[in-house]
Amino acid sequence: MEKKFGPMMQMAFVVEDFDKPIEFWTQKMNIGPFFKLEHLNVKDVYYMDQTTNLDFSVAIAYTGNMQIELVNQHCDTPSIYNEYVNNEKGPLHHLCTLTDDFDNDVRILESQGYINLQGGKTQDNGKFAYLDTKDREGPILEIAQLSEAGLGFFDIMQEASKNWDKKTAVMDIGEVRV
Amino acid sequence: MEKKFGPIMQMGFIVEDMDIAIDFWTKKMNVGPFIKLEGIELIDQYYKGKPADLDFSGALSYSGSMQIELIKQHCDTPSLYNEYVNNEKGGLHHLCCLTQDIENDIRILESQGYINLQGGKTQDNGQFAYLDTPERERPIFELTQLSEGGLTFFAMIEEAAKNWDKKTTLMEAEIIL
């Protein structure tokens, strides 16, 4: 029995609004363009074992093979994005890795002392979960199993970063020529 | 005038205990093997505009094409690794990009409000600098210009991670050399 997940492919930061951070990442860190996914329509969302309903948006860009995700929660519902972190762990919120066998990996991680804190599903049955160890040794770990369409979506955004003009801060997915 | 640095290639974490941290990354995060860099002999080190003599060790590994760096400072000399981040351990400390023209990039970043907080040189004239904005908007940013030898060393560690048996937590530099 071994974990199937691959290399870390995303680092995520919780932000209060998108405009300033996107300006920061594009103008100072040379990372862009960002794609905004507003009011994500995910289902079966849970936090600390209870069903919940979170209103949040994300903005995504790539630096090389690493995805940068900015998360902005719009509601005050307790979640891993607000009350869980309290900025204790520095600016990074979580690292994400993709897997082909979500249930297998979550089971092994739980056997290693991880707690499945929050998660949900996408409309096309992609699955994701945020896990952390009790003693919070390292970054929160997100495990995701995406649909083919979800993976294709990430590819398009990564491709856009390779051909970026270093000026356009935000793009729509439809604008990307592939 | 434009910045020459490439994609983010390193995430740096400050740790209290190197062995515990390596255990965590290898067993739980599936990232390994780590190469320990002990007794790093740097020259011209500075912190906040003054020369600084810092005693610290590092350990490096790769997750895909991203380098994971663990840093353990052994002395209490004020630095970017302790007082600047309030001795916070475990969280992300900095992100690093490589550049072929560190002076050009530092100049542009300074014109964008960054402060050159700490840095130094390796024995083979590699150069590095940590910068941050006064508002501390995001992670500390490290810029590094490596020698050919330094680049080769990183490539070897990355290769070792690709061929990792998921058991060996530590490798000696000689093994991959």
3-state secondary structure at position B49? coil
Within 103-162 of B, beta carbons closer than 8 Å to A belong to 109, 112, 114, 133, 137-139, 141
Q: Is the peptide bond before B33 cis (omega within 30 degrees of 0)?
A: yes
Question: Residue A90: is its pLDDT beyond 60?
Answer: no
pLDDT of residue B175: 57
CATH number among 3.10.180.10, 3.40.50.720, 3.30.70.120, 3.30.70.890, domain B8-172: 3.10.180.10
Which pLDDT band, with edges at 50, 70 and 90, does B177 fall under? very low
Residue A97 has pLDDT above 70, yes or no: yes
Residue pair B23/B71 in contact (Cβ under 8 Å)? The answer is: no
Domain boundaries, chain B: 8-172
User: Is a pLDDT exceeding 60 seen at residue A85?
Assistant: yes
Q: What is the largest CA-CA distance in chain B?
A: 47
Q: What is the mean pLDDT of residues A1-29?
A: 90
The per-residue pLDDT for range A122-148, each reduced to its tens digit, is 999 899 999 998 877 778 899 999 999
Share of chain B above pLDDT 70, in %: 97
Residue A145 is assigned to a structural domain of this protein = yes
A157 is a domain residue: yes
Average pLDDT over residues A29-44: 92
Tell me, what's the pLDDT at B135?
81
Residue A89 is predicted with a pLDDT of 47
Question: Distance, in angstroms, between A49 CA and closest chain B CA?
Answer: 22
Q: Encode pLDDT of B41-64 as tens digits.
A: 899 999 999 999 999 999 999 999
In a domain, A172, yes or no: no
Sheet of A34-37: strand order equals A50-51, A43-47, A114-121, A127-133, A140-145, A94-98, A8-14, A66-73, A56-63, A34-37, A170-171
- Give yes or no for a contact between A31 and A63, defined as CB atoms under 8 angstroms apart: yes
The partner residues of A70 in beta bridges, in order of sequence, read A13, A59
Domain count, chain A: 1
Statement: residue B3 has pLDDT above 50: yes
Q: The CATH number of the domain where A33 resides is what? A: 3.10.180.10
Given an 8 Å threshold on Cβ–Cβ distance, is A25 in contact with B92? Answer: no
| Degrees to nearest 5, angle at CA B92 with B87 and B93 | 55
Domain holding A121, by residue range, is: 8-164
Contact B123, B41 (CB under 8 A): yes
Q: Is residue A169 part of a domain?
A: no
Helix (H, G, I), strand (E, B) or coil at A124: coil
Of the two residues A90 and A67, the one the predictor is more confident about is A67
Percent of chain A with pLDDT over 70: 96
**Angstroms from A53 CA to nearest CA on chain B:** 28
Q: Which two tokens stand for residue A58?
A: 């994300």
The pLDDT score that the predictor gives to residue B139 is 84
B2/A166 touch (CB, cutoff 8 Å), yes or no: yes
CB-based contact, B47 to chain A, within 8 Å: no
Query: Is A171 inside a domain boundary?
Result: no
The number of C-beta contacts closer than 8 angstroms across A and B is: 103
Distance from CA of A66 to the nearest CA of B (A): 8
Q: Whole-structure pTM over 0.80, yes or no?
A: yes
Tell me, what's the ipTM?
Answer: 0.86
Is residue A63 domain-resident?
A: yes
Q: Residue A1 falls within a domain, yes or no?
A: no
Parallel, antiparallel or unpaired: strands A34-37 and A43-47: unpaired
B2, B8, B17: best to mutate for the A interface, most A CBs within 10 A:
B8
Given B3, B66, B88, which is nearest A66 (Cβ)? B66
Supply the mean pLDDT for chain B. 90
